[in-house]
Amino acid sequence: MNVLVLNPGARQLDFALYSGSESLPSRSGRIDDYRGAAMCRAALEKVAEQCLKGIPKEPGAWAWAVRIPFGGELFARPALLTVETVRSLETLVPLSPLHLPAIIELLAALNDGYAAQPAILAFETAFFAGLPAREAGYALNAELTDAGALRRFGYHGLFHEAACAHARRLQKSRRAAGTPRILSVCLDPQPEVAAVIRDRPVMITSGATPLEGLPGQTTCGELDPGIIIALSQKMKWGPERINAMLTRESGLLGLAGERTTLGELLASEHYEGALGRKVMNYRLLLACGAGIAAMGGLSHIVFSGRYAGLGETIGPQLISRIMRNRPEPSGEIQQHCFRSSLGRVVADNAMTALMALPERETAG
């Protein structure tokens, strides 16, 4: 089957066509601005024109797959695009106001103009919808937390889910015994660590937004909330200025004093990035320690994301530090690099979901 993957951001729309199990897309591109109903229709027409020439139109020949960054507690698994699905997403706009409004317009245009082919929605937060209450909750006013408005999620759930499945397959192929206890390290511009027992996440570094947790290329990571109050009171900064500082001027950019990618920083030995490397490696080690404690052990470390290949360097260092501090090592820790792209992961997620749907649903 051919899967046409859409990855909508707050402004840009990336697209790629995947055929069968091919790791690379046969066609791909980007639309710089798709916002607004008319722009959504025009964007989908351009995507179809570039990607669907020569693709059979009969049912089952191809499908859409759309990556959605936030699905809250409503979407704990992939969903088929329907009018009802869009209505459910609309109720989540207050929890994700920067991304969901434009995406909802795109989905409405997709449902109106291309209803003959199924469209699967793949949610980054779905893998973490069932986090244990002790991990998902904040020590805040119960009225806020009980309503589900403020709780932790993971924001690279598609990578984590696929990478952990990869680790389990490798364990099964070796006929290794025991319950997999997996540290899943997503090395993306906003990195994230998850602790997963078999296929159930029990710890995540991100919070109610991706800002919490590890520092990113331009995002601050874990921060004392008092700093935000101080910026408001002492610097007289408003919400927009504070948001710009936390999301676009902090993280590795703030530590290194210049723009750098996570891959460049961790792979380099330059003096200018020394502090950034120390902070990143230290925070990564702390996160791994928290994950091991949450799982009660460790059997695998798996790396995914844009810079998954760095796991070949970082993995042995982490394992060395972890083993050094284990009073009674209880077995070898397996290390893996899951190198699939996000588009390929979304396509696989959609194909799995399509196979699980009744035939009458996929036929529209």
pLDDT tens digits, one per residue of 16-54: 999 988 999 999 999 999 999 999 999 999 999 999 988
In this structure, the number of other CB atoms found within 10 A of the CB of residue 352 comes to 13
Q: Check residue 144 and give its pLDDT.
A: 72
CA distance 199 to 162: 10
What pLDDT band is residue 330 in, cutting at 50, 70 and 90?
A: low
- For the stretch 181-231, pLDDT in tens is 999 999 999 999 999 999 999 999 999 999 999 999 999 999 999 999 999
From residue 185, alpha-carbon distances to 77, 154, 162, 265, 351 in Å are 21, 12, 12, 17, 24
CA distance 81 to 257: 44
Over residues 124-149, mean pLDDT: 87
Task: Report whether pLDDT(10) > 70.
Answer: yes
Give 259's Cβ-side CA count (13 Å radius): 1
Q: Check residue 364 and give its pLDDT.
A: 52
Long-range contacts of 38-42 (CB under 8 A, 24+ apart): 40/105, 40/106, 40/108, 40/109, 40/110, 41/109, 41/113
Output the average pLDDT for the chain: 92
In this structure, the number of other CB atoms found within 10 A of the CB of residue 39 comes to 17
265: CB partners within 8 A, 6+ apart:
252, 256, 273, 276, 277, 280
Over residues 78-99, mean pLDDT: 95
- What DSSP assignment string belongs to 299-310? SEEEEESTTGGG
> Which of 76-85, 173-182, 342-351 is least confident?
173-182
> Which of 21-35, 71-85, 131-145, 218-232 is least confident?
131-145
CA distance 272 to 94: 40
Task: Report whether pLDDT(329) > 60.
Answer: no
Q: Check residue 360 and give its pLDDT.
A: 46
- For the stretch 268-323, pLDDT in tens is 877 667 899 999 999 999 999 999 999 999 999 999 999 999 999 999 999 998 88
104: CB partners within 8 A, 6+ apart:
86, 89, 90, 93
Task: Report whether pLDDT(165) > 90.
Answer: yes
Domains of the chain: 2-123+348-362 (3.30.420.40), 157-332 (3.30.420.40)
Residue reference for tokens 């200018």: 272
